[in-house]
Structure 1
């Protein structure tokens, strides 16, 4: 049984090119997302980082860019070292006048071990809500 992907949308008071820069420029990403030195929005580019609950286990994230439509769409795989499963994170930008609607889709969450609370849908919902609902919004609208 395939589980529907997690989808979250937010509208920012920022033009699409500024949002695109925020999600693809490593210097900008570092201030609201993760530190991904050398990140390139190019198909085949592989990157990794560590993340997890503050004070808790830090998980190695292994990612590979699979689709890029400059200024509009970025997709990469998202999996964990030492754990089974593979998922896809897609960022899509939709200009709406001087604002931008961002739709983030995280598909394949059900492929991760569900006996680990950090890999459950609720955990991803909480994380993405903070990342794009709070951190990215503050970065773009400061």
Structure 2
């Protein structure tokens, strides 16, 4: 059965350029996302990182699939040693002095259902924290600190 993708939308009180830089600049990403060794917003660019829970860490294998500057960034999101393939898409909407971000994570149903860490509710919890709290705090702090 195909599940609906996970979608979260948030509006940030900063311009679209600041949000774009936050989601594409590896030095900024490490403050709110994951500490990536390398990242380039270029189609075909491959990157990996380790993340997960205290109980289990996963090697995330990703490849950028789409880039429209200041509008859209998408990349595959797979796990080393596990079947399944998903896609993470960030879409930015310029709303003048603010920016709406829509994150969609599709293909979650392709991951092993017997691993509780790979269930959709865990992705929902993780993305809600990453986008709603971590990125929000980073953008608010960086806009007030220059």
TM-score interval (norm. to shorter): over 0.9
Q: Structure 2: 5+ residue runs without aligned partners?
A: 142-146
State the match for 1:16 in structure 2. 16
SS in 2 for 1:74: strand
Aligned: 1:50 with 2:61:
no
**For residues 94 and 7 of structure 2, what CA distance do their matches in structure 1 show?**
18
Give me the TM-score of the superposition, normalised by structure 1: 0.97
Equivalent residue number for residue 61 of structure 2:
62
Q: 1:61-118 deviations in whole A, cap 9, x for unaligned?
A: 0000000001110000000001000000000000112000000000000000011111
Separation (CA, whole Å) in 1 of partners of 2:82 and 2:132: 28
Q: Which residue of 2 aligns with 1:119?
A: 118
1:31 counterpart residue number: 31
Q: Could you tell me the TM-score, scaled by structure 2's length?
A: 0.95
Q: Displacement of 1:38 after TM fit?
A: 2.5
**Hey, what does 2:72 align to over in structure 1?**
73
Question: Which SS does the other structure have where 1:48 is aligned?
Answer: strand
Gaps of 5+ in 1: none
Residues 84 and 113, structure 1, Cα contact 8 Å, conserved in 2: yes
Q: How many residues align?
A: 141
Alpha-carbon distance between aligned partners in 1 of 2:30 and 2:98, rounded to the nearest angstrom: 23
**RMSD of Structure 2 on Structure 1 (CA):** 0.7
The match for 2:144 is none
